[in-house]
Amino acid sequence: MLRIGPVQLDSPLLLAPIAGHTDIAFRILCREQGGVGAAYTDLLNSRAILKETERTLDLARTNEFDQPAGMQLYGNSDDPLPEAAIWAVDHGAKIIDINMGCPVDKVAKKSGGSLLLRDCGNTTMLAKRIVDAVTRHTNGRVPVTAKMRLGWDPEHKVAPILARALADIGIAAVTVHARYTVQFFSGSADWNAIGEVVEAVPDIPVIGNGDVTLPEHVTKIMQMSGCTGVMIGRGALRTPWLFRQAKTLLDTGTAGPEPLLGAKLDVVLRHLDLSKEYDGEERALTRMRQHISWYGKTMGHVKPIKESIRLATTFDDAKAVLLAARAEFTDFDFPAVALSRTRHDPHIPTVQHDFLDLTCRNQSSE
Ligand SMILES: Cc1cc2nc3c(=O)[nH]c(=O)nc-3n(C[C@H](O)[C@H](O)[C@H](O)COP(=O)(O)O)c2cc1C
């Protein structure tokens, strides 16, 4: 089991921050699916936090269904990161994470993110100020972690040395996205290189990250690197049930079953409903229009559904599209993924299907 400082997680699998996607509705969706040890907010700007801008308050939202909640902050040595970390604790964060990996110009050219990999000395001092402030404020209850890449470029693979320095000043765990900043998201993640960080910091957990999209990838990245936790980002956007499947693999040696198409549609419907609950119908519709192509990647020939969602002008229209699709696949799903609210929706008609036909359709979608 993964323990981050004083915080014991039920699962070593973490949902990565993905700006624009991992809002509270999506985090709760993944948690409901099972297997998630912790989930993080998108990166939050420390100055915007202290100004309590509407957007940042929105991004920092958490509640009792979203626990343990990690809040990720970004900034540089000139920014009020220690104060922002205290604000985050006071607003529900059980883990504070410092972003040291964002490659996007807006962040990395001036304010932080990957820029912190270019000056390990300064970054360590900054991290110490944050750790000290949070430790004092919480009496050591809330750990501070760092999420980094391997380095700015292959000539500067600083992750092992930086992780060591951070562990020495009290950082409780490091997550390593096994790419360099200059790669952005190209090429593939170097899971072996995470092992160099594991060797450098045997005293704190290392969480491996990058290109984990299947349950088997979780065991592979752990075996290859020796990391004790695994963080999943884009894989979760298309398969929020991946954590449950992978946790089952870790617990039993066999991956949990891939949900059938009907059960996948239940998850999509639940996402839509959670988005409405937290953000209202208009934003829920916008979010689903953006997200449906991620889901579509694992559903086979669902182009008409994706098109209809994209063209839907109201929340009700989008929901009707999904319910109509769902009605075709009512009977042969795994009960483990039944989501009671959607499943008991009286609007879902039951249609009998030939089992073999359905099985073939689902398999052809994998
Ligand atoms: C659109 C997008 C937004 C991201 N936003 C963040 C972010 O806010 N904070 C962060 O630490 N990483 C962010 N990342 C990086 C992911 O957390 C993760 O490290 C990366 O995608 C590799 O993991 P994956 O292959 O499982 O997606 C983002 C990635 C993407 C594709």
**pLDDT single digits (tens) 102-141:** 998 877 776 789 999 999 999 999 999 999 999 999 999 9
Question: Could you tell me the distance, in angstroms and rounded to a whole number, from the CA of residue 219 to the centre of ligand 1?
Answer: 20
350 pLDDT above the threshold of 80:
no
Distance 347 CA to ligand 1 centre (A): 37
Helices 303-311 and 261-296 pack at an angle, to 10 degrees, of 70
Cα of first residue to Cα of last residue in the chain, in angstroms, is 31
Active-site residue, 102 included = yes
Cα 88 to ligand 1 centre (Å): 20
Pocket lining: 101 vs ligand 1, CB cutoff 6 Å: yes
Burial 186-207 (b: 16+ CB within 10 A, else e): eeebbbebbbbbbebbeebbbb
Render pLDDT for 10-47 as a digit per residue (tens, 0 to 9).
999 999 999 999 999 999 999 999 999 999 999 999 99
Which superfamily does 3-252 belong to? Aldolase class I (3.20.20.70)
pLDDT grade for 330, boundaries at 50, 70 and 90: low
CA 315 to chain centroid: 25
For the chain, domain boundaries: 3-252, 261-364
Q: Max CA-CA distance within the chain?
A: 65
Tokens matching residue 287: 């979010």
Q: Which ligand 1 atom lies nearest to the CA of residue 189?
A: 25
CB 177 within 8 A of CB 209: yes
Pairwise CA distance, residues 245 & 27, whole Å: 17
Ligand 1 atom at minimal distance to the Cα of residue 177: 19
Average pLDDT for 217-226:
98
18 in ligand 1 pocket by Cβ < 6 Å?
yes
Summarize the chain as % helix, strand, coil (round to 5).
50, 15, 35
Measured CA to CA, the distance from residue 76 to residue 42 in angstroms comes to 17
For 224, phi then psi, to 5°, come to -70, -35
